[in-house]
Amino acid sequence: MTNPKINFTPGPSQLYFTVADHMRTAFREGIPSLSHRSKQFENIYKDTVDGLRELLGLPDHFHVFFTGSATEIWERTIQNLVLQNSVHLVNGSFSKRFYEVALQLNKKALLLEAPAGSGFEFDVQIPGDTELIALTHNETSTGVALPLNFISAIREQNPSALMVIDAVSSLPHPDFDYADADAVFFSVQKGFGLPAGLGVWLVNDRCIEKAETLLSKGNSIGSYHNIPSLLQHERKFQTPETPNVLAIYLLSKVVADMIRRGIGKIRKETEYKAAILYQALEKHAAIGPFVSDAPWRSQTVIVADTGNLTGTITETLLRHGMQPGDGYGGHKKTQLRFANFPTHAKEHFELLVDLLDKL
Amino acid sequence: MTNPKINFTPGPSQLYFTVADHMRTAFREGIPSLSHRSKQFENIYKDTVDGLRELLGLPDHFHVFFTGSATEIWERTIQNLVLQNSVHLVNGSFSKRFYEVALQLNKKALLLEAPAGSGFEFDVQIPGDTELIALTHNETSTGVALPLNFISAIREQNPSALMVIDAVSSLPHPDFDYADADAVFFSVQKGFGLPAGLGVWLVNDRCIEKAETLLSKGNSIGSYHNIPSLLQHERKFQTPETPNVLAIYLLSKVVADMIRRGIGKIRKETEYKAAILYQALEKHAAIGPFVSDAPWRSQTVIVADTGNLTGTITETLLRHGMQPGDGYGGHKKTQLRFANFPTHAKEHFELLVDLLDKL
């Protein structure tokens, strides 16, 4: 089995560099068989919540719930927050799957789609009876990200709808104004650099009210992972089911590490690494960035149009211990994707850029 | 933080004794950041399926699906396999929650309840229009288990209903006749001794057909984790979402370890350990088994009525490095529970019995 030193696949991604140490400590301290009804677990849950509030600037009226995956959160979002009408801004394969989940749950879902590799450069018209607007901040498939002022504008024009932001492959980088969102979610195997198997759902009181209203009118909003059940348990820092205790523990530790490092520093380094890679792609004769319009370019998943050099570049990088991510879906043979997460060092990006320059 | 040598809590339980080694290997081999779309992951999934077939004697027409927890499987079972009518044989708190999930999903669920600590010693009458019968083979809360011939009799009397068996805290011990079941499920943090965060759902073709029929008639059966979606991915040894890859890897390794040890030997040892503990409880002057009727006694979760000795016994055991499980719910102060899983050595049970004898 190969295990390259630097893994640029956008998820599951390279582990955050402290994870192996935390896993050893976890085993020493009995975390893998810790009861989720113990005081010690409640402390771990609380540490994670406190840490996320500090790291992300998350306001107190947001609750922190755990699920099995971000994919589960797509389903729980529709199930708990939509009686009939949702609107989905689709800019790639993952935002499209969020839309399809709404159809599978028999909702009237409206699709507003941007061309592949582009932002929403048109007048986004959202019907007045929309209950929920689903945005994907960072499309892992295409490397298109929504500018924060675009999100604010959508919010301002549609104050009554719930705004839900999929930030699976961007957090902890974006400095969201949480007044623009009612729910935000991510999974831990991307920017947080943890083993997969945990989704994190940040939910405000408007979402709680909506779920409780749907329930009180006799609609089924699911069982153990409906919002009222998650909330009732979160108040005691517990979970409805036996959760992935180990992943929650590791998340609490990595969040603490990131706080010590400083979120400002992490954001600046992320933007520096993105800038040098986009610059290298732009000035390159044979390859280029897939997203042509700079304001819509992701800082955390950088997609390169590599055409018929894709194989050559991959081989070159692998020889230097670097694993690029394949292009997504139909772009597998003509694009490469580079995750730019907090675990990726500046030096690795400088080496990557050097290698691309020389091609 | 305390970390007693021997943990008898019934879940999350003591780790299987090989897990720490497998975790070290996993990190060496890059498993925590392995892509779930890689060939290597498909091999791990296939190894797990092949291993479970061999260990449990699972027939080929059963599929093996992964979820976030067994709690999730309660919900997926009702969502995918019941249009309206389910029947629940309830012998404790967990089987009751399975019933409540059906109510939360707006089904007409019928409850057939045995008194606490007793089996179904009455004529179990199941209506002819029942679509699904939910059995909990081993009630973790009360230590009541269903005899295998009781399960066969229910099956024989109700051939048209789907039979679903919750075996969360009994597998791999029970030698089920899989002709008696259409679906069986467990979570990995009990008998398999793994960190929590993975449910395993064994599903036959009758379940596939039922889910497909419900879907074709316009019923919502959920999204990514509906049975057709799980099946479509399982055929490629993939999962719809990014799963808990690390837990699936660890399960494949522990299943292989158990196959090498021999399922016959594991079953015999389990029964020996249960027998000496029940014997000690029966002959004790001050404490006794909660389940009085021997055929309904669990082999894997042994519940003792410890009354006002509960505190004394707990302290004595803790002094000897042994952590008993608290009684469940209202029995917290008057009962103790002892998990009897493959990781618990005969010597530990012999020591436990010695200590109880001396009290």
pLDDT at B2: 45
pLDDT tens-digit readout, B242-262: 999 999 999 999 999 999 999
Beta carbons of A104 and B226 less than 8 angstroms apart: yes
pLDDT at A170: 97
CA–CA dist A294, B264 (Å, integer): 64
- Tell me the mean pLDDT in the region B208-215: 98
Instruction: Report the chain A residue with the minimal C-alpha distance to residue B246.
Output: A195
Contact B36 A196 (CB under 8 A): yes
A34 to chain B nearest CA, in Å? 6
Contact B197 A19 (CB under 8 A): no
Instruction: Report the chain A residue with the minimal C-alpha distance to residue B189.
Output: A33
pLDDT of residue B359 exceeding 90: no
| Partner B contacted by A227 (CB < 8 A) | no
CA–CA dist A348, B227 (Å, integer): 42
Contact B223 A68 (CB under 8 A): no
Say which amino acid occupies B294. Answer: A
CA–CA dist A241, A227 (Å, integer): 13
Contact B242 A187 (CB under 8 A): yes
| Partner A contacted by B285 (CB < 8 A) | no
Contact A71 B224 (CB under 8 A): yes
Per-residue confidence band for B5, with pLDDT thresholds at 50, 70 and 90: confident
Q: How far from chain centre, in Å, is Cα A93?
A: 14
- Residue B106 Ramachandran class (φ > 0 left, ψ -120 to 50 alpha, else beta): left
Contact A29 B104 (CB under 8 A): no
Say which amino acid occupies B188. Answer: V
Residues 230-259 on A with a CB inside 8 Å of B are 240-247
Selection from B206, B199, B212 nearest residue B183 by Cα: B206
Beta carbons of B79 and B164 less than 8 angstroms apart: no
CA–CA dist A112, A187 (Å, integer): 24
Give the H or E element holding residue A22: helix A19-28
- Best of A79, A223, A239, A344 to disrupt the B interface (most B CBs within 10 Å) is A223
pLDDT of residue B115 exceeding 60: yes
Q: What DSSP assignment string belongs to A75-133?
A: HHHHHHH-SSEEEEEE-SHHHHHHHHHHHHTT-EEEEEEPPTT----S-----TT--EE
* Spatial CB neighbours of B227, under 8 Å, sequence gap ≥ 6: B65, B76, B80, B81, B203, B207, B208, B211, B212, B221
CA–CA dist A111, A15 (Å, integer): 35
CA–CA dist B288, B280 (Å, integer): 8
Neighbours of A125 (CB within 10 A): 9
Neighbours of A24 (CB within 10 A): 14
**Which tokens hold the place of A189?**
């195997």
Q: What DSSP assignment string belongs to A152-207?
A: HHHHHH-TTSEEEEE-TTTTTS----GGG-SEEEEETTSTT---S--EEEEEEHHH
Cis amide bond preceding A59, omega within 30: no
Give the H or E element holding residue B304: strand B301-305
pLDDT tens-digit readout, B77-93: 999 999 999 999 999 99
- Tell me the mean pLDDT in the region B4-20: 89
- The stretches in chain A having pLDDT less than 50 are 1-2
Contacts of B72 in chain A (CB under 8 A): 68, 224-225, 241
Q: What DSSP assignment string belongs to B135-203?
A: EESB-TTT-BB--HHHHHHHHHH-TTSEEEEE-TTTTTS----GGG-SEEEEETTSTT---S--EEEEE
Helix H segments across A218-283?
Answer: 227-234, 245-261, 263-283
Sign of the dihedral defined by the CA atoms of residues A284, A285, A288, A292, in that order: positive
| Partner A contacted by B187 (CB < 8 A) | yes
CA–CA dist B161, B182 (Å, integer): 9
Beta carbons of B299 and B293 less than 8 angstroms apart: no
CA–CA dist A97, A103 (Å, integer): 10
Cis amide bond preceding A159, omega within 30: no
pLDDT at A4: 57
What are A88's strand-pairing partners?
Answer: A111, A134
Kindly compute the dihedral angle of the four CA atoms of residues B298, B299, B301, B304, in this order, to the nearest 10 degrees: 70
Contact A68 B71 (CB under 8 A): no
Establish, for the pair of chains A and B, how many residue pairs have beta carbons separated by less than 8 Å. 173
CA–CA dist A245, A67 (Å, integer): 11
- Tell me the mean pLDDT in the region B170-175: 98
pLDDT at B4: 57
Contacts of A74 in chain B (CB under 8 A): 223-224
SS3 A298: coil
CA distance to B188, B263, B275, per residue, from B267 (Å): 18, 6, 12
| Partner B contacted by A323 (CB < 8 A) | no
- Beta strands B6-7 and B322-323: pairing type? parallel
Selection from B125, B133, B124, B81 nearest residue B105 by Cα: B81
Tell me the whole-structure pTM to 2 decimals: 0.97
Selection from A112, A123, A118, A121 nearest residue A90 by Cα: A112
Give the H or E element holding residue B283: helix B263-283
Contact A11 B242 (CB under 8 A): yes
Selection from B123, B113, B72, B73 nearest residue B93 by Cα: B113
**Which tokens hold the place of B211?**
């889910």
| Partner A contacted by B23 (CB < 8 A) | yes
SS3 B62: strand
CA–CA dist A244, B247 (Å, integer): 10
**Which tokens hold the place of A341?**
């997460």
Contact B32 A224 (CB under 8 A): no
Neighbours of A44 (CB within 10 A): 23
